[in-house]
Copies of this chain bind each other. A is one copy, B any other.
């Protein structure tokens, strides 16, 4: 591959001049610059990124560490990160599907010298320690961090209040026997949503330990299985809060198969507001989370950290999670007057969206 030296020789100039042409062409005589550009075109030359970042100590690359990515949520987060970083001319060094902390350590190390900062969604506890070490070398932005330790910048979704709102909605409809399909234990999103669920029950004077909590893993199949579990119960709940939409979808399928009508026989509410929530039968009442924005905000924080050069108090940003009322829970008298939002992008009408009712 041609180097700066080849181009310099062909153009009859020094390598410094070639470098200038590619970095700030205004520093060099236009005529000379053209000669250089010609020579460069001849070799199809372009500066070597690795060498460049070695001298400039900047890579224009952001490292992204994610857990196993299944479902629309994670892919939306990536899209958000991608869009925003491209906007600012940053590349993405991606590393997902991490389970154990050795994986993460290896990924972090391989990134040293190749990234200017690291955006991490570390759902599992032990990973954080590893990331912590890495944070001494480059700025780190945490996505949905488990704790509020505030040692790094972070941006999170308000899972707790979202779950609170979803459960409150069911309670407001008169439901008293509400079950929950939980997400994977140890996952902070899942944990926060479970906490919100319980808190809402407490606030309504119900004993949270009495409520049925069926385990799940955020995938459709686990929602289906949970549905079967719930249907088997002698005392069936009248409503179910699924910790995410994927499981709600599995649940709906299980209920349909058993001839259990939604919302008549059982009310269902999900979490995430994935694209197809609107297209389900019935359209799913759920909690809207803007995953794409989560990614964008993380990049913004990172860029800010990169520009200020550290030293400032870590920031923490929490994105709202708003209840979206559709038809899987039946109508709530209190919000019957909610305006019919003109369904975005030709979405099916009949979709009533309302803000958080609390």
Interface residues of A in 304-358 (CB under 8 A from B): 345-350
Number of copies of chain A assembled together: 2
Residues of chain B contacted by A252 (CB below 8 angstroms): 279, 281
What distance in Å separates the Cβ of A248 from its nearest Cβ neighbour in chain B? 10
> Nearest B residue to A64 by beta-carbon distance?
B94
- Pair A93/B96 contact, Cβ less than 8 Å: no
A250 at the interface (CB under 8 A from B): yes
- Pair A113/B52 contact, Cβ less than 8 Å: yes
Mark each residue of chain A from 54 to 96: 1 if its CB lies under 8 Å from any CB of chain B, else 0. 1000011100100001101011001100110010010111111
The number of residues on chain A lying at the interface, defined by a beta carbon within 8 Å of a beta carbon of chain B, is: 70
Residues of chain B contacted by A253 (CB below 8 angstroms): 278-281, 348
Residues of chain B contacted by A264 (CB below 8 angstroms): none
- Pair B348/A254 contact, Cβ less than 8 Å: yes
Chain A contact residues, CB within 8 Å of chain B: 1, 44, 46-54, 59-61, 64, 69-70, 72, 74-75, 78-79, 82-83, 86, 89, 91-97, 103, 107, 109-114, 133, 136-137, 219-222, 224-225, 246, 249-250, 252-254, 256-257, 275-276, 278-281, 345-350
Can you give 7 A-B contacts (C-beta < 8 A)?
Answer: A46-B112, A64-B94, A86-B103, A91-B94, A91-B95, A219-B275, A252-B281
